[in-house]
Amino acid sequence: MKPLLLFLLLLLLPATSAINLSNRVISAVNCGGPETLGAYGILYSEDPSDSGVSSDAGRAFSFSNAEDRDVEIYQTERWSKESFSYEIPVSEDGDYVIILKFSEVYFERPDQKVFNVKINSKTVVKNLDIFEKSGGRGFAHDIYIPINYRGKIVIELAKGANDNPKINGFVVLRGGLEGLPEPPEKFVASERFREDFDMYENDIIEEYVKPQVIQDSSSEVDPESEEMFTATTGSENPFEQESSMDSLLLPVISAFIIIIPVAYVFQMRYAHD
């Protein structure tokens, strides 16, 4: 009985831990921190920048919506009173995905820190509010930006409406969005409670399995940059297929988990009779 149940529960774990992106990495930096091996085999190098201030104030938090191996990435950061940037040398033209990693570790409300992200001088994320996007203080928020590279890649954390720009880490990967893991899901305070019920409620599962961000739908992409940034939206979302698979799989497995103990009890009764 027990090993079988354990096996079924293992099936419930997402297969994301098997993803290894190390062969696709052009550059990965643990902003404001030392060299760190993160999730998916990505080795983040020590932050080479001396702009602004590096901080490890985030060590007070555990970032429960992030992959375990990525927690250290979200714990250190670089921020500055001025806009600051990272330049990534890339040798070949082609498709790339930039993953930006953020967390809020200071403010306790949304709208306190709001800034912009530019790639090669073009605004790709407008009015980024990490607190609001991640679900609170001490949670992870990743943004995936697919680009078609023609020239250098400069990631700029640009001064915006409120407070100072910051970043926890970034990765530049070769290729498109295919094969990438889902970004951390926005933390929802009642999620744990809901999860118990979602096992048996197909329609609710679909709602919360949805990935939080690909190209952030609420952040407006500069129309001028449309050619360069091939951000996917809506039905093109490559993770949507995965999500609908999961939403089918979960009820089926749930059904098994219910049926097996029942069958076991019946069999026991039969054995005794």
Site string for ligand NAG, 91-110 (x = CB under 6 A): --------------------
Min separation Cβ 18 and ligand NAG, Å: 8
Nearer to ligand NAG, 20 or 162 (CB): 20
Q: How far apart are CA 170 and CA 30, in angstroms?
A: 7
Residue of this chain nearest to ligand NAG (CB atom): 41
20 binds ligand NAG (CB under 6 A): yes
Residues 108-167 that bind ligand NAG (CB under 6 A): none
Q: Provide the 10 A C-beta neighbour count for residue 186.
A: 19
Which residues neighbour 250 within 8 Å (Cβ) at sequence distance 6 or greater? 12, 198, 199, 202, 205
**Angle, vertex CA 38, rays to CA 91 and CA 35, nearest 5:** 70
Please give the structure tokens belonging to residue 48.
Answer: 């080479």
Nearer to ligand NAG, 41 or 238 (CB): 41
Min separation Cβ 67 and ligand NAG, Å: 11
Beta bridge partner(s), residue 148: 95
- Cβ proximity of 44 and 169 under 8 Å: yes
Min separation Cβ 181 and ligand NAG, Å: 12
Size of the site for ligand NAG (CB under 6 A): 3
22 binds ligand NAG (CB under 6 A): yes
Q: How far apart are CA 188 and CA 194, in angstroms?
A: 10
Residues 24-83 that bind ligand NAG (CB under 6 A): 41
By CB under 6 A, name the binding residues for ligand NAG.
20, 22, 41
